[in-house]
Amino acid sequence: MIEIARKLTSSSRLPSIDLTNPEFGKDCSDHMFCATYRNGEWTNPEIVPFGDITFSPAMLALHYGQSVFEGMKAFRMQDGRISIFRPHSHLERFNRSLDRMCMPTISEELFFDALIEMLKVDQGWVPTAPGTSLYLRPFCFASEPRLKIKIADQYQFMILMSPAGKYFGKPYRLKVETKYTRTAEGGTGYAKCAGNYGSSFYPVKKAIEEGFDQVLWTDAKEHRYIDEAGMMNIMFMVDGKIITPSLSTAILEGITRDSVLTIARDQEIVVEERRIAVDELESYLREGRVTEAFGTGTAAVVAPVQMIRIGENDYNIPTPNETSFHNKAYVILNDIRKGLAPDIHGWNFII
């Protein structure tokens, strides 16, 4: 076990925080984890009071974009214990992202020791209200002060924690995007690097101005095939089976995506992971064969889609009910995380 220094706050902010319906990402817990990479190894792991950090304005991450993050959740189980949902899968994805950005990977020992110690220190920040969780944000960035274009030799690894309620309170209205591109095959789309999100802001802003909530990205080469929805993977229930874009270097491999598809297969629902042409999707929508459309992601979990615009045409998705698959999948996920249902896949990491 790694020895992690502790410098704890003398005054918690927790009494001023409403944990019954926390706004996603607004308030961070009392402490944060920090470690520095220099001379080829991670050093100085410590937990310190949450607060501002000081770095050189010549820090490489600010100029050349070496910055990667992860997002996962911890839950208060029915018996009072705390569980992190699928952290091993998140670490694998974190390290794939770091490797793609030429950044040092994080060992399992450092990653889990840091998470466990953070949750021990700030365990009171894990909410108990229905639909709530503690969002965990590990991230890493190049901290070396240098204006030269280069792979950095110094990095900072940090973890923040923030109580979270529902990410988005209503079904999504999506616009199929055929002009702007989030990422391309061979690029960084499969990595959770900061630049992927910054580059998506402008087309999403334009879509919101037009009355939509998010865009439905298409492939960069031809804009003929569906990729993903905003910050979520996308799924369609067509003729009783789930169809979702197959993974590529342009699509983020969602942990929630995998969880939902696993639940579908457990229920003997046919799952097709393949390329989905925009024309094909429009044909299904026009013929009324799409009974559900929903996004999946750590923040949103399972988010229904209300309407999809393709070209100049708007297609409404049937209103979901308690028998809709995505609603049932959300309940199953929640019950597993809370310890209310058997964890047959070993997804919970209990502290």
Position 299 confidence tier, pLDDT thresholds 50, 70, 90 = confident
The pLDDT tens digits for 81-120 are 999 999 999 999 999 999 999 999 999 999 999 999 999 9
pLDDT of residue 254: 97
Q: How confident is the model at residue 297 (pLDDT cuts 50, 70, 90)?
A: very high
Looking at residue 156, what is its pLDDT?
98
Domains of the chain, first to last: 5-164 (3.30.470.10), 172-338 (3.20.10.10)
Structure tokens of 57?
């304005």
Distance CA 158, CA 150 (A): 22
pLDDT number for residue 166 = 77
Tens-place pLDDT, residues 203-252 = 999 999 999 999 999 999 999 999 999 889 999 999 999 999 999 999 99
Q: Which residues pair with 133 in a beta bridge?
A: 164
Question: What is residue 168's predicted lDDT score, i.e. its pLDDT?
Answer: 66
What would the pLDDT profile of 143-185 be if each residue is shown by its tens digit? 999 999 999 999 999 999 999 987 767 899 999 999 999 999 9
Q: What is the pLDDT of residue 18?
A: 93
pLDDT in tens, 6-27: 999 999 999 999 999 999 999 9
Dump the DSSP string for 77-136: -TTS-EEEESHHHHHHHHHHHHHHTT-----HHHHHHHHHHHHHHTGGGS--STT-EEEE
| Whole-prediction pTM | 0.96
